[in-house]
């Protein structure tokens, strides 16, 4: 696997207290709008370190990011092959130098204005998560997510979190790295495993309601296609069993 790094942030801005990390796969139609919106809303109030972790896209995403880097200060890692959602987050975290990191998807579904809700709670919780009360996803996607979240919460006796898979989470970068590097089973259902490991590790998790919008390109999803649901469900159940076994063995030892 070959990777290239872009960095127009360090020379133009240098330092920031907060980073926005976006894992990206085949988002040529949405990524420029998403990144620009975050930059225009956050950077006037505080320096912003934008980190884009591209995951072997097969469309024009890489070229869009290269052009975008010429006008917007950012860091990016461009990969020639897929490493999965979890791998994209882990690799992106290696570029983050800011004290805090907001990890969010790159499809335009999250409103960057909601960052300030999470930011106001950063001293109260180790991890602040955006709760999507009115989730703008297809019915099958919402149903699958709800069922699996219930399974995860009951299996690991989690508190009654409203939305553990929300892809809009703020925390100290050192906390994100510590938890993410332990995640190894749920590549595409990353936030389920992340939430379990965070709770088991003693990190406090707070939730606040955020806006959830339709994808910027109006498509349903990049990964969770209806015909892939049986395969994804089976993979998640197997991963859940592996995680349960690992944590059970740790408790016994």
Give the model's pLDDT for residue 110.
94
Look at 216 and 30; give whichever has higher pLDDT: 30
pLDDT tens-digit map of 67-93: 999 999 999 999 888 888 999 999 999
Q: CA-CA distances (angstroms) from residue 140 to 135, 186, 227, 239?
A: 12, 20, 11, 21
Contact 108, 28 (CB under 8 A): no
Give the model's pLDDT for residue 1.
63
Q: Which of 89-103, 185-199, 214-228 has the lowest mean pLDDT?
A: 214-228
**Model confidence at 216, in pLDDT bands (50, 70, 90)?**
confident
**All structural domains of the chain:** 3-252 (3.90.550.10)
pLDDT tens-digit map of 224-253: 556 666 677 788 888 889 999 999 888 877
Give the model's pLDDT for residue 223.
55
Q: CA-CA distances (angstroms) from residue 86 to 36, 43, 54, 77?
A: 24, 27, 12, 14
* 61-71 and 31-42 helices, crossing angle to 10°: 30
- Mean pLDDT (the chain, rounded): 90
Q: Is the pLDDT confidence value at 150 over 80?
A: yes
For residue 208, what are its two tokens? 């606040």
Mean pLDDT of 209-234: 70
Mean pLDDT of 183-187: 88
Q: Is the pLDDT confidence value at 141 over 80?
A: no
Closest CA to 140 of 29, 225, 59: 225
């Amino acid at each position: 696997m070959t990777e290239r790094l872009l960095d127009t942030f360090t020379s133009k801005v240098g330092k920031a207290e907060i980073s926005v990390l976006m894992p990206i796969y085949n988002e040529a139609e949405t990524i420029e709008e998403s990144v620009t919106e975050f930059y225009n809303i956050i950077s006037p109030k505080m320096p912003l370190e934008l980190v884009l972790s591209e995951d072997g896209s097969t469309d024009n995403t890489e070229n869009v990011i290269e052009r975008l880097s010429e006008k917007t200060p950012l860091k990016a890692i461009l990969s020639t092959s897929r490493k999965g959602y979890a791998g994209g987050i882990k690799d992106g975290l290696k570029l983050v130098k800011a004290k805090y990191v907001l990890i969010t998807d790159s499809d335009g579904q999250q409103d960057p204005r909601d960052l300030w809700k999470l930011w106001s709670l950063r001293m109260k919780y180790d991890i602040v998560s955006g709760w999507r009360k009115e989730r703008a996803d297809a019915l099958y996607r919402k149903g699958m997510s709800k069922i699996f979240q219930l399974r995860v919460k009951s299996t690991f006796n989690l508190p009654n979190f409203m939305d553990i898979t929300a892809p809009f989470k703020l925390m100290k970068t050192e906390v994100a790295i510590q938890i993410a590097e332990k995640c190894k089973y749920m590549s595409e259902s990353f936030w389920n495993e992340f939430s379990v490991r965070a709770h088991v590790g003693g990190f406090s998790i707070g939730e606040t309601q955020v806006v959830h919008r339709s994808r910027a390109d109006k498509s349903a999803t990049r990964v969770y296609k209806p015909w892939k649901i049986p395969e994804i469900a089976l993979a998640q159940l197997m991963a859940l069993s592996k995680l349960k076994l690992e944590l059970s063995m740790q408790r016994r030892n």
